[in-house]
C-alpha cells in the first residue's frame, strides 16, 4: 500500500489507472477506522481494480470546534488496517494540502440538506460537499462508497454529485455495521464512558422494536413513542427522531403507500452525539 500525501500525486495515480482502463473505488473517511469502514473497503476491493481510501478529518464540516478538537486521530492504526485490507492507496493529506485557500463554495444542496442534521448543524453538509467534491475531482472514482449510518449524508452527496456534474460516479450505499449488542459502529463510540456504552445499544433495540409498533400507529405516534422510550433510558437524550421519505428526506405525516420510510435519530449519550436509523 502506498501512502499518498499530495493532491498532485493522487491525481497522477488515478489518471494513470483510468488511462489503463482500470476501475477506481474511492472510500472517503475521517479515519479512526473500524469494522464499518472495513466493510466499505471490502466491497470496494471486490468491485474495483484499484482502491483509494482517504483519511482526512475535514475541518469545514465541523460546526462545533470541540467536536473537531476531540475527534479521534489514529493514523498508525488506520494504516495498519488499510494495509491488511488490501487497499492500494491511502490518501492522507494535510489541511493545507486540501485547502490551500479557504473554500468559499456554497453548494445548492436543496431540501435534502435542510432537515434533521442540516437544520441542527449549520454548514455541516456544505462542508461535506466541499470535501467530497474535491475527492471526486482528484480521484475520479468509478464508484464511491458511503455507510448508511449517515443516511441523510448519502442523499446530500447524491445531490452534490448531481448539481456538480459527477453523474458518472456510482455512489454506493452500504449497510450499517453493528456491534453484537446492536450499537452502530462509529468512530465516536471510543468516547463513550462504560455507563454510556452499556446504555447505547438501547437505541437500536428501541428502533427495531418500533417496526412492530408502527404497524398499528401513525407516524407521529411512532416518533413520540421512540423518543419517549429512548429518553427513559438513564443517560440517553434524543435530539430528534424523524421519520422521512428515503429519497427526499422530507418528514412524513403518513406512512407511504409505496416506497419506504426511514426513521433517523440523534441521541446524546452523555456528551457524545450518536446517530442511527431504521427503515420501515
Ligand atoms: O462520513 C464521513 O466520515 C465524512 O462525512 C466524509 C464522507 C468522509 C467526508 O469528510
pLDDT tens-digit map of 208-242: 999 999 999 999 999 999 999 999 999 999 999 99
Ligand 1, atom nearest to 28 Cα? 8
**Residues of the chain above pLDDT 70, percent:** 100
Ligand 1, atom nearest to 61 Cα? 10
Give mean pLDDT, residues 67-90.
96
Q: What does the chain look like in DSSP terms, one character per residue?
A: -EEE--HHHHHHHHHHHHHTT--EEEEEE-S---HHHHHHHHHHHHH-SEEEEEE---GGG-S-HHHHHHS---HHHHHHHHHHTT-SEEE---HHHH-SS---------GGGTSTHHHHSTTHHHHHHHHHHHHHHHH--SEEEEEGGGHHHHHHHHHHHHHTT-TTSEEEEEPPPB-TTSPBP-GGGGG--HHHHHHTHHHHHHHHHHHHHHTTS-HHHHHHHHHHHHHTSTTEEEEEEEEEETTT-PBPSS--SSS-EEEEEEEEETTEEEEEEEE-
- Our mutation pick for probing the ligand 1 site, out of 53, 56, 58, counting the most ligand atoms within 8 A of Cβ, is 58
Confidence of residue 258 (pLDDT cuts 50, 70, 90): confident
The pLDDT value recorded for residue 95 is 98
Residues having CB within 6 Å of any atom of ligand 1: 28-30, 58, 61, 128, 131-132, 150, 153
Residue 90: is its pLDDT beyond 80?
yes
Residue 259: is its pLDDT beyond 80?
no
Q: Cα of 238 to ligand 1 centre, how many Å?
A: 23
The pLDDT value recorded for residue 27 is 99
Ligand 1, atom nearest to 56 Cα? 10
Residue-wise pLDDT for 176-214, tens only, equals 999 999 999 999 999 999 999 999 999 999 999 999 999
Q: Cα of 128 to ligand 1 centre, how many Å?
A: 6
Q: Cα of 18 to ligand 1 centre, how many Å?
A: 24
Give mean pLDDT, residues 150-169.
98
The pLDDT value recorded for residue 240 is 98
**What's the mean pLDDT when you consider all of the chain?**
97
Better pLDDT: 258 or 71: 71
Residue 68: is its pLDDT beyond 90?
yes
Residue 265: is its pLDDT beyond 80?
yes
Residue-wise pLDDT for 47-67, tens only, equals 999 999 999 999 999 999 998
Amino acid at each position: 500500500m502506498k501512502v499518498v500525501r499530495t493532491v498532485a500525486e493522487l491525481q497522477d495515480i488515478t489518471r494513470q489507472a483510468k488511462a489503463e482502463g482500470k476501475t477506481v473505488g474511492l472510500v472517503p473517511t475521517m479515519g479512526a477506522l473500524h469494522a464499518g469502514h472495513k466493510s466499505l473497503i471490502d466491497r470496494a476491493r471486490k468491485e474495483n481494480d484499484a482502491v483509494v481510501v482517504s483519511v482526512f478529518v475535514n475541518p469545514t464540516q465541523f460546526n462545533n470546534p470541540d467536536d473537531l478538537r476531540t475527534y479521534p486521530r489514529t493514523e498508525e492504526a488506520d494504516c495498519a488496517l488499510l494495509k491488511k485490507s488490501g487497499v492500494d492507496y491511502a490518501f492522507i493529506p494535510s489541511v493545507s494540502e486540501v485547502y490551500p485557500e479557504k473554500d468559499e463554495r456554497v453548494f445548492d444542496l436543496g431540501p435534502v440538506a435542510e432537515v434533521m442534521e442540516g437544520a441542527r448543524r449549520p454548514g455541516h453538509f456544505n462542508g461535506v460537499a466541499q470535501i467530497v467534491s474535491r475527492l471526486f475531482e482528484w480521484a475520479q472514482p468509478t464508484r464511491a462508497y458511503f455507510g448508511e449510518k449517515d443516511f441523510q449524508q448519502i442523499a446530500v452527496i447524491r445531490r452534490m454529485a448531481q448539481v456538480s456534474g459527477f453523474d458518472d460516479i456510482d455512489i454506493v450505499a452500504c449497510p450499517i455495521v453493528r456491534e453484537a449488542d446492536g450499537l452502530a459502529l462509529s468512530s465516536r463510540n471510543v468516547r463513550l464512558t462504560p455507563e454510556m456504552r452499556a446504555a447505547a445499544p438501547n437505541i437500536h433495540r428501541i428502533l427495531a422494536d418500533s417496526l412492530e409498533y408502527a404497524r398499528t400507529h401513525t407516524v407521529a405516534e411512532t416518533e413520540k413513542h421512540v423518543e419517549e422510550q429512548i429518553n427513559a433510558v438513564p443517560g440517553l437524550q434524543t435530539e430528534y427522531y424523524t421519520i422521512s421519505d428515503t429519497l427526499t428526506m422530507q418528514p412524513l405525516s403518513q406512512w407511504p403507500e409505496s416506497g419506504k420510510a426511514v426513521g433517523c435519530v440523534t441521541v446524546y449519550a452523555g456528551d457524545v452525539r450518536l446517530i442511527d436509523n431504521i427503515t420501515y
